[in-house]
């Protein structure tokens, strides 16, 4: 890693996980295999920011720790990349085991529950599906009908999130991801 850490992908240690490495990697990993509109990629860092925003509408006011879990839901992709779902399903078991080990190390590193409560996981998955719908229709060329079939239609005012769907330069996505992480981490009462 750029931080100088040596991360063992098969047996990752929380001590080798750095938020700067995560932000840097996620800002350079393209969603939709880079098959999106715009002069820049839409990165996993941007996707993570969108999922956290969708997860946490003001009326629900989840805790900072829950919001942090939403922000870091795809954090393992900073080293293993973002595979499209059909390919991930075809690979199956080993990929999922490596991803789960990485996520466990990341969550331990940042004081998050490694086995999130069912409601938290369900809500993060719902925000992730809503994000996929928005990204698919705004950036990846899906029709609304096709996106509804694959992801369901989000039960929220979609227009509220269009500002988060603008592809940006990797350095800008990295900076925004780190800033949001710092806000949530400080709000949770645990600075790094």
Q: Which DSSP letter does residue 60 get?
A: T
Is residue 85 a part of any domain in this protein? Answer: yes
- CATH number at 55 reads 1.10.3210.10
pLDDT at residue 159 in the model: 74
Number of domain units in the chain: 1
What pLDDT was estimated at residue 89?
A: 79
First CA to last CA distance, the chain: 18
Return the closest-CA partner of residue 48 out of 177, 163, 175.
Answer: 177
Domain that holds residue 169: 14-184
- The pTM (predicted TM-score) of the whole model is 0.92
Contact call for residues 45 and 35 (beta carbons, < 8 A):
no
In this structure, what token pair is assigned to residue 8? 């063992």
For residue 29, give both structure tokens.
């990993």
Across the range 89-98, mean pLDDT stands at: 83
Residue 59 counted as domain residue: yes
Buried b / exposed e over 106-135, threshold 16 CB at 10 Å, is bbbbbebeeebeeebeebbebbbbbbbbbb
Predicted pLDDT at 93: 78
Q: Is the pLDDT of residue 190 over 80?
A: no
Res 146 pLDDT > 90: yes
**Non-local CB neighbours of 137 within 8 Å, separated by 6+ positions:** 143, 144, 147
What digits encode the pLDDT tens for the residues 38-86?
Answer: 999 999 999 999 999 998 765 566 788 899 999 999 999 999 998 877 7
What's residue 57's pLDDT? Answer: 63
Quick one: pLDDT at residue 189?
Answer: 67
């Amino acid at each position: 890693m750029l931080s100088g850490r040596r991360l063992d992908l098969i047996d990752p240690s929380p001590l080798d996980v750095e938020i700067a490495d995560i932000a840097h990697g996620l800002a350079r990993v393209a969603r939709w295999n880079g098959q999106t509109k715009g002069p820049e990629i839409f990165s996993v860092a941007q996707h993570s920011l969108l999922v956290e925003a969708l997860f946490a509408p003001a009326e629900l006011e989840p805790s900072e720790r829950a919001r942090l879990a939403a922000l870091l839901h795809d954090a393992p992709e900073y080293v293993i990349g973002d595979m499209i779902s059909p390919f991930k399903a075809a690979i199956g078991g080993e990929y999922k085991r490596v991803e789960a080990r990485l996520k466990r190390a990341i969550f331990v590193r940042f004081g998050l529950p490694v086995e999130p409560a069912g409601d938290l996981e369900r809500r993060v998955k719902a925000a992730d599906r809503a994000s996929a719908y928005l990204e698919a229709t705004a950036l990846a060329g899906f029709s609304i009908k096709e996106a509804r079939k694959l992801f369901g239609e989000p039960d929220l005012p979609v227009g509220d999130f269009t500002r988060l769907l603008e592809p940006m330069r990797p350095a800008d996505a990295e900076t925004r991801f780190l800033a949001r992480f710092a806000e949530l981490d400080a709000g949770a009462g645990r600075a790094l």
